[in-house]
Structure 1
Amino acid sequence: MRLDKFLKVSRLIKRRTVAKEVTEQGRVWLNGREAKPSASVKPGDELKIQFGQKLVTVRVERVADSVRKEEAGEMYTILKEEGIGS
């Protein structure tokens, strides 16, 4: 599954266009490398996403084309949340 679609389906980012923009700005890393929106995501991958002054690290648990809102949180596990700067 494409990275931008995973971010949207898992509800880490609300809209796919926003996920694409964030990724193109270099604020998403896949397994330690800066990722492109079209990068392939699979279970076991580690994502780092910069949200403003916060860096969130998650592990991909499963990939699905569509899930209900209640199940979206099961697609990933948050490993770490840390502040940046200040």
Structure 2
Amino acid sequence: MRLDKFLKISRIIKRRSVAKEVADKGRIQINGKLAKSSSTVKVGDRLKIQFGNRCVEYEIRELHESTKKEDASQMYTLLSETKQATFD
């Protein structure tokens, strides 16, 4: 599944166009490597996303083509959230 689609369906980022913009600015890593919006994600991948001054890390647990709002959070696990973090 494409990264931008996963971020929208899982509701980590509410709009696919915003997910594409964030990825294309180099603020998302998949398993430690910079990712583009068209990058493919799979179960077990770790996403690291920089939102302003905070950095959030997720692990992908499930992939669905569509999901209900209340079920979206089951698609990932929040691993860590730090402030003022930068990518290594």
> TM-score with structure 1 length normalisation?
0.97
Amino acid at match of 1:41: V
Where 1:64 maps in the other structure, the secondary structure is coil
Aligned to 1:27: 27
Which consecutive residues of structure 1, in runs of 5 or more, have no partner in the other structure? Answer: none
Deviation for aligned residue 1:78: 0.3
Where 1:48 maps in the other structure, the secondary structure is strand
Alignment of 1:32-43 (within 5 A): 32-43=32-43
Amino acid at match of 1:38: S
CA distance in 1, matches of 2:2, 2:74: 18
Where 2:48 maps in the other structure, the secondary structure is strand
Alignment RMSD, CA only? Answer: 0.7
Deviation for aligned residue 1:12: 0.3
Alignment of 1:1-86 (within 5 A): 1-84=1-84
Runs of 4+ in 1 over 3 A off after TM superposition: none
Deviation for aligned residue 1:54: 0.5
Identity fraction in percent: 54
> TM-score with structure 2 length normalisation?
0.95
Q: How many residues align?
A: 85
Deviation for aligned residue 1:41: 0.6
Which consecutive residues of structure 2, in runs of 5 or more, have no partner in the other structure? Answer: none
> For each residue in 1:23-50, what CA deviation from the matched residue of structure 2 results, as whole angstroms up to 9, or x when unmatched?
0000000000000111111100000001
